[in-house]
Amino acid sequence: MKSFDAIVIGAGQAGPFLAARMVEKGMKVALIERKFLGGTCVNAGCMPTKTLVASARAAHVARNSAAYGVNIPGEIAIDMKVVRARAETVTMNARNGLIGWFAGMDGMTVISGHARFEDPKTVSVNGETLTAPRIFLNVGARPVIPDLPGVNDIDYLTSTSIIHLDRLPRHLAVIGGSYIGLEFAQMYRRFGAEVSIIEHGPKLASREDEDISDAIADVLRSEGIDIHTGASDIAFAKSSDGITVATDSARIDASHVLIATGRKPNTDDLGLEAAGVITDKHGYITVDDRLATNVDGIWALGDCNGRGSFTHTSYNDFEIAAANLLDGDDRKVSSRILAYALYIDPPLGRVGMTEKQARASGCKIMISTRPMSRVGRANERGETKGFMKVIADAETKKILGAAILGIEGDEVIHGIIDAMNAGTTYPALQWSVPIHPTVSELIPTLLGDLKPV
């Protein structure tokens, strides 16, 4: 049996950085990863997909260049092999960077293999047994495949496998109208494929307010994407030249099908029962406000704990655990203000409460909206789709939430994220003097237009 000061299972966006911090403190750490260092973000999520999004945007800009006085003769052609290779290069550079980083760390043992608990202090991997007083789980999540008629009879794609396509689909059917599905839908439409989105719910991006959801649908429809919401009785069948997707109201002749209906945690084969670790009905590991499980000496970080499903929340889990365990701090998950982005074009930046949540909270609220058509920078760039919205508490003057669907919305939202984390009231932000011409310069104006509801 090999003994360590800590064992980290899973090398996503929390585990490796926590392992590195512990090594810096002189600890002996084992980092176990069954597949690739970097987890979903590096290998099948943020980095490759946003690289693909950038290629798709380049194609879109080129096709529409005449509106800017730039004439490109001939048809804009997409070389999917080059597109794929570019995304793989970005992934491999990041993954190899982690490999090199860990190789230079005394005290770090990186093990490639599938770890399982033997008891609360012991795990087995590759026929060896390892023990440590502290064990951290950062095992991430994977696409979930719904039990729909015919789904096992077709060669469907997931968000993990679609990034390896090196041929353009004739017609991509996207099952699921949430964030992952929407990004791939617009991306492949811009590459030149016909695209249909099939969503069981009544609207796209169901977490968002109805006005945001409607605006997202308008953006996608304007680019020629076919949207079917409220779809039921979804079924699949092989056809002579692809796959038939049938719903209660539509029949789609697709060449490829992307299943993007959610993700589930990678916790079902860790032997958690041997350690006594509790999970909820969806398989997420139950943790307290400091990310500790019900078993002393075991923590769960990142997507597998159900307390966040983003790279930045996973990294923040590392920050919380490191601060509490190594720095004598007392940080809590409940102190985190949730923010995220949807990387369609234009992107959506979101923080805090939606309007629906704010209205249900019982607070006296104020709301302000502004179309992107009234933002100078958006007009100068010829990208005026979307709008900005902010919600505030009429009594405390604190900002409760905001949504910016529009050019650079994923960046502009950070001004509001920072203000909310600092506890700054909206009247104080109205006195800032932003740079012109930017999208962010409209934040004080947006706040100045807040009105009670």
Residues 6+ apart with CB under 8 A from 206: 177, 178, 213
Strand segments (E) across 101-193: 108-112, 116-119, 122-125, 128-131, 134-137, 141-143, 171-175
Whether omega for the bond prior to residue 437 falls within 30 degrees of 0, making it cis, is: yes
Query: The tokens 């800017």 sit on which residue?
Result: 68
Which CA distances in Å does 76 have to 59, 62, 79? 7, 7, 10
Residue 436 designated active-site: yes
Which CA distances in Å does 128 have to 3, 41, 125, 289? 11, 29, 5, 33
Whether omega for the bond prior to residue 346 falls within 30 degrees of 0, making it cis, is: yes
Three-state DSSP at 44 gives coil
**Cα 226 to Cα 231: distance, rounded to the nearest angstrom:** 13
Please say whether the beta carbons of 138 and 301 come within 8 A: yes
How is residue 155 annotated by DSSP? -
Please say whether the beta carbons of 279 and 285 come within 8 A: yes
How is residue 224 annotated by DSSP? T
**Cα 370 to Cα 285: distance, rounded to the nearest angstrom:** 41
Strand segments (E) across 171-255: 171-175, 194-198, 226-228, 235-239, 242-246, 251-254
Please report the DSSP string for 298-320 in residue order. EEE-GGGGTS--SHHHHHHHHHH
Pick the catalytic residue from 114, 171, 312, 436.
436
Half-sphere exposure of 429 (CA within 13 A, CB side): 27
Which sequence positions are flagged as catalytic?
436
